[in-house]
Amino acid sequence: MIEDSNVTSTERRERMETIVSRISRIPRTEFADDVLIREELGIDSLMAMEIVATLEREFDIEINEAEMYDISTIGEFVAFVDQRCRERHAS
Amino acid sequence: MRRRLRILLISPRGAFLGRNDAFREYMETSREMQTILHYWNGLGAALPTIAGLTPDYHTISICDEHVTPIDFDAPLDVVGLTGMTQQAPRAYEIADEFRRRGVYVAMGGIHATVLPDEALGHVDTVFTGEAEHTWPLFLSDVERDRPRRRYDQANYPAVDLETIPLPRYDLVAANDYPVVWVQATRGCPLDCEFCAATRVYGSTYRHKGVQQVAREITEVKRLWRHSQVGFADDNMFVNKRWVRALLDELESVPFTWYAQSDVSISEHPDLLARLHANGLRILFVGLESVNGTNLEGINANGWKARRLARYPEAIAAIQGAGIGIYASFIVGMDYDTDATFEEIAAFVNANNIMGTQVTILTPFPGSVLRARMEREGRIASSDWSLYTAWNAVIRHRRLTESELEAGLLTVYRSVYSENELRRRAAHFKQLFLNLAGR
């Protein structure tokens, strides 16, 4: 799916959270910005791979796994994907 | 008049990596291995289950010695030990120390079940087999100062898994386990030559009620919100009708989980899709060998040998459903040669298997394999601390002990090399892109 360029960051975050929640089976209410993805949510590398691939499909973006190494929290992840989406629309 | 007992259940520290120094160094320095060790951790379901069988007027606690040290000075009436073979030497040290202090010591679990007389050299009472009937009886006997030396499940009716109480996971809730192990089924119809589990659970495959499993998962997730749930069952998906009923029951219980199964689940694409949708993320599968002659000797009916040709198809089906396979292989089987290590690595790499465990054939006490190896004079060591499955304790016909231990490392270094990890990551990303595009 290619998203509408008028989608706001808030709407994009909702869609991201829905996907992460479906794959991790963790309620969206637990995705506060400062929550640690691996340590607190217990999302392992296989789940992370599934999340990344699904987000790539959903937002028509590309994410290099190596870029994920420095991302620790939900807030950082959301900002990273949001930035990548905005770059996609700007190109 | 009831007598209130102070009871401590202990899971002793294990030897784990044993004497294989090169392997130990690899495990301790490889980032991938450290991740695996992090998850491959935690307490089996046995002690919480035993605690759940304990009448609530007793005081009971659980010590996982991998997490917390044992307080030998604690005021106790009864210590209950469990353990696999590699934990037995430490279990005996603990038993000796508590008995020196006047505490009554009992032991159950797989090692005590298969070698009760050995255990009785260190403990006051031994349990063989399952303890649902015998543990409450033992406590009642202790209350009356008349405990017996042995309690054998074989003397009692079969344990009905539908009616057993909820395990006391709350007693270990302070331990920060990345994976919490739960038991839903017992037994395995394959009865492999190297496995002694049938001696504990019998050959009949049984399962808990699906509502009971859902209750246990709910309790575990209440106590450990973000840990994975691991099903400790030797072969969880034998009864496909029960699996479907379980998935129906678990629809409303959000969690992600790991399980163990044989490859037959690959023949049920509808179930694979539902398992993934219901949170199954990693499946441990005992592939054992890529040599058909080796596999013929594992099961009396050649079950695994007949499936070898379909292993690649089965792996592709399971992983294609979004479930990563953690495959186990054994080296040191009778028809292995010095080419075996490369053959296993090549198979793993060619089939993009997500994770691999390779161990050395180990004649665990109680197994059919041990009886055969004893007849053939091929047991090199009965030092139980070496029975981690990562040390060579057998005499192989073609490979020396050091060749087996070095070969083990050859496989790990190949399948977990940077190149293979990168290639596999790309493969899985494509699998998930395919799934997301459906």
Spatial distance between the Cα atoms of B397 and B395, rounded to a whole number of angstroms: 7
List the single residue in A with minimal CA-CA distance to B321: A50
Range of weakest confidence among B19-23, B110-114, B328-332, B356-360: B19-23
Separation in Å, CA of A34 to nearest CA in chain B? 15
Q: Which stretches of chain A sit within 8 Å of chain B by CB?
A: 24-27, 40-42, 44-47, 49-50, 52-54, 56-58, 65
In this structure, the number of other CB atoms found within 10 A of the CB of residue B12 comes to 25
Q: Count H helices, E strands: chain A?
A: 4, 0
The pair of structure tokens assigned to B250 is 């678990």
pLDDT digits over B258-273, tens only? 999 999 999 999 999 9
| pLDDT tens digit sequence for B166-225 | 999 999 999 999 999 999 999 888 888 998 887 777 778 899 999 999 999 999 999 998
Instruction: Note whether B6-21+44-155 and B178-436 share their fold.
Output: no
Write down the domain spans for chain B.
6-21+44-155, 178-436
Whether residue B157 has pLDDT greater than 90? yes
CATH number, domain B178-436, options 3.40.47.10, 3.40.50.2300, 3.30.365.10, 3.80.30.20: 3.80.30.20
- Regarding predicted confidence, which is higher, B123 or B29? B123
End-to-end CA gap in chain A: 17
Query: Two tokens at B369?
Result: 């394999």
Smallest CA–CA distance, residue B227 to chain A, in Å, is: 6
Strands (E), B199-289: 206-207, 228-231, 257-261, 280-288
Contact across the interface for A42 and B254, Cβ inside 8 Å: no
Helices (H), B261-367: 269-277, 292-296, 303-307, 311-320, 340-350
Best of A43, A49, A59, A62 to disrupt the B interface (most B CBs within 10 Å) is: A49
Q: Kindly state the average pLDDT of the residues A63-70.
A: 81
Burial of residue B169, with CB atoms counted within 10 A of its CB: 0-12 exposed, 13-18 middle, 19 or more buried? buried
Contact B302, B375 (CB under 8 A): no
Q: SS3 for B206?
A: strand
B9, β-bridge pairs: B62, B80
pTM: 0.92
Query: Which of B176, B226, B258, B325 should be substituted to probe chain A, the one whose Cβ sees the most A Cβ atoms within 10 Å?
Result: B226
Cβ distance A58 to B279 less than 8 Å, yes or no, reads: no
Q: Do B428 and A46 touch (CB under 8 A)?
A: yes
Provide the 3-class DSSP secondary structure of residue B355: strand
Task: Kindly give the pairing relationship between strand B206-207 and strand B185-186.
Answer: antiparallel
- Residue B291: how many CB atoms within 10 A of its CB? 19
**Domains (ranges, CATH) in chain A?**
9-90 (1.10.1200.10)
The pLDDT value given to residue A1: 54
For the domain made up of B6-21+44-155, the CATH class stated in words is alpha beta
Nearest to B199 by CA among B85, B44, B332, B89: B85
Partners of B39 on chain A (C-beta within 8 Å) are 44
Q: Does B226 touch chain A (CB under 8 A)?
A: yes
Cβ separation A52–B429 shorter than 8 A: yes
- Distance CA(B66)–CA(B335), nearest Å, equals 37
